[in-house]
Structure 1
């Protein structure tokens, strides 16, 4: 299948110059330009994440002494949000390098100090491999994708509203459904099929854990349940004031909202629910190379160069700046890779909204149900 052909559904509306650039693009040539950049440096991961955790925790605690709504309290809250958001983004790296033995201890550390307390244990992102599978990307088997540019604009709005409800998901998933699932097999099947994946496609159905994964998943569920029980007990006896619970809710909502903006800007979402080649995936994804420091705030740990990531999913985040520079310098100016660049977050959001409205006006929307869940 060439870059301009599709096997079924409504063809992706690539422009002529995009089709020509895609047909000329060589993944091998791009890969050759990046030699020596594929080895993850574990010291960088440990240092970056651990410092981010310490900063997030310190800033979260400082909100109280600084007076909450005061300017300094608000500043501390903003720092806690951005630092915690950066911590969260490391789950993406863990998903890609989970097969490496060197990532085993880091994975456990991330889960212990962040994943479990935030009720997003690592097993809930096991589905991420499907998002990079050539046969599954952009299809109903991809938990992280909806053809939003070809759906009603209300789906975009839904993704931005969902963060208000996400803080309730963890307690419901781990404090209600988890213990119930230990006794009722039918609930356990529902648990893993419907509420055990970080997703934006509400219709996505996850898999059951393998024999080797069963107790690992259940162990993480039990730890989340224990964490919720401990937090509830501390709140009940007054050891932790209710104001901290409100602050945690605000933290979670803000992180989820920023991540929703990032998700909307990460892809063009032009898929027709058919499989895509690596080059088509790259073209359906967006790089934000400008304003690097600002980009690291709303799309941390390499996520701002998302087209690069889909082109080379085995590239560690700390190599992204050098990899992008090499590709820009080594590939032709009319390379398909250069066509993935966006002027910024606002530009990407406007383009997605315009394309969704244009399809609605033309009556060419894809028949999908409204968006009801959001992810990483």
Structure 2
């Protein structure tokens, strides 16, 4: 299977070296090298997640007794940020393995222990399948993609400052709009179209729940509302000091900011808003294999090998290092897979910023408000 399998080549501005390598790449050859690595081991998932939750909760609690602005207090806060971010990253694995029966209890446990308290219930990531769909990846129907390399640098800046307001989204969505939607059908339609997906493309429009999903989504919404109400009571009675609310806001902002950095480094974002083949998706995505320690902080649960993930989305995260090693050993020296590598987070960010600036200087920025730029 090559890049041309099942799809006509388009005018994506691939570099000549990438273009040649893509034409020779075989997905089947890569898949055959990974035989036996596609079964998720639930013991690893549970151990990793429960340890992350415990570390995050203890570190968050320890900030106050250690002194919020002391060296130890700041260190505890940073530990809580990266532990919570690791917990959040498991939503990605759940989205990919939600049809596996063994993932049912893990999905429920993640939602109860983390998703509901953080007001990011699992149903808000049901849109992730579109990010791996050959016909939807990189198009306006992909909630997690913008052609940033063809857009103004201000769009990159926008994604980095958005975390400042994200902590208010959950209380607004679940504490205000959700109960209102129970009484006003038009508000319910607005809720699902605009406020029910984790996305970076704010023009993306979500879908209504299916008949099977309806009551599950509403139960998750109700539990988030109940959590907000309980938190409000605890804060208003002084049981939980306001300082903890401020700390939670700082935690949420920090986690969202790290995730924004990760998202910006995860792709080249050079798509033309048309569909891409599997190989094109892989080449539009970035691996960070050298960042083994720091990478687990800013791109945990397999996310640092993101090109590998887009090539083989059925791989469980705990097998990514072995899978990457097999591909590097078994694929040819001139394999396109090797060209997905970046030396680190900041080189990837610099490459994206340089691409934005180059399009800006050339006057070829994509205007998504025009009919050509926003094919919704």
- Rounded Cα–Cα distance in structure 2 between residues aligned with 1:8 and 1:346: 34
2:240 is matched with which residue?
A: 240
Measured against aligned partners, the alpha-carbon deviations of 1:261-300 in whole angstroms (never above 9, x if no partner) come to 0000000000000000000000000000002011000000
Measured against aligned partners, the alpha-carbon deviations of 1:18-77 in whole angstroms (never above 9, x if no partner) come to 111111100000000000100000000000000000000000000011011100000000
Give the drift of 1:12.
Answer: 1.1
Cα contact 2:2–2:27 (8 A) shared by 1: no
1:46 is matched with which residue?
A: 46
Local SS of the residue matching 1:11: coil
Local SS of the residue matching 1:356: helix
Q: Alpha carbons of 1:302 and 1:7: their partners in 2 closer, same or farther (altered >3 Å)? A: closer
Structural mapping, 1:201-280, within 5 Å? 201-280=201-280
Give the drift of 1:196.
Answer: 0.2
2:359 is matched with which residue?
A: 359
Q: Alpha carbons of 1:109 and 1:7: their partners in 2 closer, same or farther (altered >3 Å)? A: closer
Measured against aligned partners, the alpha-carbon deviations of 1:120-168 in whole angstroms (never above 9, x if no partner) come to 0000000000000000000000000000000011000000000000000
- Rounded Cα–Cα distance in structure 1 between residues aligned with 2:10 and 2:263: 23
2:139 is matched with which residue?
A: 139
Local SS of the residue matching 2:293: helix
- Rounded Cα–Cα distance in structure 1 between residues aligned with 2:18 and 2:252: 39
1:306 is matched with which residue?
A: 306
- Rounded Cα–Cα distance in structure 1 between residues aligned with 2:94 and 2:231: 27
1:76 is matched with which residue?
A: 76
2:372 is matched with which residue?
A: none
- Rounded Cα–Cα distance in structure 2 between residues aligned with 1:360 and 1:195: 31
1:129 is matched with which residue?
A: 129
Measured against aligned partners, the alpha-carbon deviations of 1:292-313 in whole angstroms (never above 9, x if no partner) come to 0110000000000000000000
Local SS of the residue matching 1:232: helix
- Rounded Cα–Cα distance in structure 2 between residues aligned with 1:8 and 1:193: 32
Cα contact 1:4–1:19 (8 A) shared by 2: no
TM-score by length of 1: 0.96
- Rounded Cα–Cα distance in structure 2 between residues aligned with 1:3 and 1:106: 36
Matched, 1:180 2:180: yes
2:374 is matched with which residue?
A: none
Cα contact 2:234–2:240 (8 A) shared by 1: yes
Cα contact 2:307–2:340 (8 A) shared by 1: yes
Q: CA RMSD in A?
A: 1.7
Matched, 1:343 2:343: yes
Give the drift of 1:9.
Answer: 11
Measured against aligned partners, the alpha-carbon deviations of 1:83-109 in whole angstroms (never above 9, x if no partner) come to 000000000000000000100000000
- Rounded Cα–Cα distance in structure 2 between residues aligned with 1:9 and 1:334: 21
Matched, 1:154 2:190: no
Cα contact 1:91–1:122 (8 A) shared by 2: yes
1:166 is matched with which residue?
A: 166
Runs of 4+ aligned residues of structure 1 deviating over 6 Å after TM superposition are 4-10
- Rounded Cα–Cα distance in structure 1 between residues aligned with 2:107 and 2:7: 39
- Rounded Cα–Cα distance in structure 2 between residues aligned with 1:185 and 1:334: 56
Cα contact 1:7–1:274 (8 A) shared by 2: no
2:329 is matched with which residue?
A: 329
TM-score by length of 2: 0.96
Cα contact 2:143–2:197 (8 A) shared by 1: yes
